[in-house]
Amino acid sequence: MIRTVSLAVLALLVGAPLAAQNTRPVCAPDNAGLTLQPGFCALLVAESIGPARHLVVLENGDVLVAIAGSRGGIRLLRDTTGDGKADIVRSFGVGAGTGIAFAGEYLYFATNNAIVRWHWNIGQLEPPTGTGPDTVVSGLTLGRQHPAKSIVVGSDGQLYVNVGAPSNSCQVHDRMPESPGQDPCPLLDVAGGIWRFDPRHGNQTQLDGQRFVTGIRNAVALAVDPGTGAVFAAQHGRDQLAANWPKLYNDAQSAELPAEEVFRLEAGGDYGWPYCYYDWRRRQQVLQPEYGGDGKTVGRCESVPRPVVAFPGHWAPDGMTFYNSRHFPIKYRGGLFIAFHGSWNRGPLPEGGYKVMFVPFARGIATGAPEVFADGFAGPVVSPNGARYRPTGVAVGPDGSLYVASDQGEGAVFRILSQP
C-alpha cells in the first residue's frame, strides 16, 4: 500500500522547508509599509512573536529570533509553503534576551546576564523534551542601564560579548548637571567593553573571560566581517550634553552629538569612553565635558582610534551584518547593513534613526558614504511611543535575502529581497 504525504508534512519529517526551496516568496503590494531602494521588495515573515531583537537564519531557511521582555526566550520561524511567511512558530528558552548566534553545531542565546547554548541540528524545531541548555557564561555585569548582551562568534571560534556600561558618562552622580567624571572610571573594570570567552569551556564567569577591548559605552550591534575575520562594533553614544552642561552646549548641538560610531576592533584597543567622544562634524575625537572638555579641546583623546564610519547622534545602532551573498546587486557585496532603533532625545530636531542603512565596504574599510536602504518602519509618527516598528537585528538568509527584526509592540520580522 502506498501512502501519499503532503509536501508540508514531508518538510517537517526531514526537517527542511522543501516547498520554500522551490517557490519564490510573495512580497507585499505595499512592501509591508517600507520604503526601499529601487529593485527591492519586502514582506512580513511574522508578527506578534514578542519584542524581537537579534536573529540568525540557518541554511534551511529557519529563522531564530531572540526575544526581550517578559515573554523572553527564542522563537523559531519556519516557512513550509514558500510564500515567505512563517506558518510554523516554536518557542523555547527562558529569560529576556538580545544576543543570538549559530556556529558549528551550537545555538547560542544571551540573556541580560548569561550566555547559554544548545547542541542544534539544522532542521529541528525545538530542543528535545526535557533537555535544557548548557551554561557557557553566567554572572555577567548587569545594570539598570544598558543590560542587553550582544554576541558574535568570531572567525577564531571565540565568543565576543558586549558588556554595556550602566552609566551615561561615568559621572560621580550619573546624569546630574555638571557632576564631574570619575577618573579613572571604575566601571571599565567590569563593563564598557567587549569580553572574549572560549566557548569550549562551560560554567564560566566574567572573570574567566578576557577584556578584548575597552572604552565602548554600549555596543548593541556586533558583526564579523567574513572577508577579513575582524570584529566590528557600533557604539551608542552618550546622552544629555546640553542638559548636563548647558554652559557649553545648546539643545541643537546636543541633538547631533556625539556621533554613533562603528569601530573595527583590535585586541587591547581603547575606544575612548567615557573620556572622549567623536564629533562627526569636526571629524575628530574631543574631550568630554565631565573631564574638562569644552566641545573643541582634544587633549588626551588624540590617540583614540577614529571610527570607520560615523552617524549623527542618538540614532541607536542596534544590529548590523556584512552582506556575503550574490543575491543583491554587486554594489552591496561585502558591505555593511546597520539597523537603527531610533532616538528619543534629538529635540528640537526631528527624531532620527528608525531605518536600515547601508555602508559599502572593501577589505575592512568603508569605501563610500552611507545611504538609506530601508525606511518607513516607524510609520507616520517617528517617535519611540508612536512608531509602529523599530529595527533591531539584521541577518542575511541563505538565499541572500535581508531579514530585519523589530521589537516595537508585539514584535515582527521583515524580509527584503532583490526583485528579478
Is pLDDT at 56 greater than 70 in this prediction? yes
How high is the pLDDT of residue 420? Answer: 81
| HEC assignment per residue over 121-166 | CECECCCCCCCCCEEEECCCCCCCCCCCCCEEECCCCCEEEEECCC
Is pLDDT at 4 greater than 70 in this prediction? no
Q: What are 185-201's pLDDT values in tens digits?
A: 999 999 999 999 999 99
| Distance in angstroms (rounded) separating the CA atoms of residues 169 and 185 | 9
Instruction: Work out the number of other CB atoms within 10 angstroms of the CB of residue 21.
Output: 13
| Distance in angstroms (rounded) separating the CA atoms of residues 212 and 191 | 11
| Distance in angstroms (rounded) separating the CA atoms of residues 290 and 209 | 30
Is pLDDT at 9 greater than 80 in this prediction? no
pLDDT, averaged across the chain? 94
How high is the pLDDT of residue 21? Answer: 52
Give the three cell numbers for residue 25: 516568496
Instruction: Work out the number of other CB atoms within 10 angstroms of the CB of residue 2.
Output: 3
Give the three cell numbers for residue 107: 545555538
Q: Confirm if 315 and 257 have CB atoms less than 8 A apart.
A: no
Stronger pLDDT, 130 or 233, i.e. the higher one: 233
Is pLDDT at 121 greater than 90 in this prediction? yes
pLDDT-based confidence at residue 15 (cuts at 50, 70, 90): low
Residue 339's identity, in one-letter code, is A
Q: Confirm if 331 and 368 have CB atoms less than 8 A apart.
A: no
Mean pLDDT calculated for residue range 49-64? 98
Is pLDDT at 6 greater than 50 in this prediction? no
User: Strands 221-224 and 371-375: what pairing?
Assistant: unpaired
pTM of the model: 0.94
Q: What are 356-369's pLDDT values in tens digits?
A: 999 999 988 999 99
Question: Which residues does residue 64 pair with via DSSP β-bridges, in sequence order?
Answer: 56, 76
Query: Cell numbers 579613572 label which residue?
Result: 184
Q: What are 16-39's pLDDT values in tens digits?
A: 444 445 578 999 999 999 999 999
Please give the span between the terminal C-alpha atoms of the chain, in angstroms, as a whole number: 44
Map out the domains of the chain with their CATH numbers: 7-418 (2.120.10.30)
Stronger pLDDT, 174 or 363, i.e. the higher one: 174
How high is the pLDDT of residue 12? Answer: 45
Q: Confirm if 144 and 118 have CB atoms less than 8 A apart.
A: no
Mean pLDDT calculated for residue range 320-332? 97
Alpha helices in 188-273, H assignment, sequence order: 241-244, 251-256
Long-range contacts of 356-362 (CB under 8 A, 24+ apart): 356/391, 356/394, 356/402, 356/404, 357/311, 358/332, 359/262, 359/309, 359/335, 360/331, 360/332, 360/334, 360/335, 361/225, 361/322, 361/334, 361/335, 361/336, 362/334
pLDDT-based confidence at residue 70 (cuts at 50, 70, 90): confident
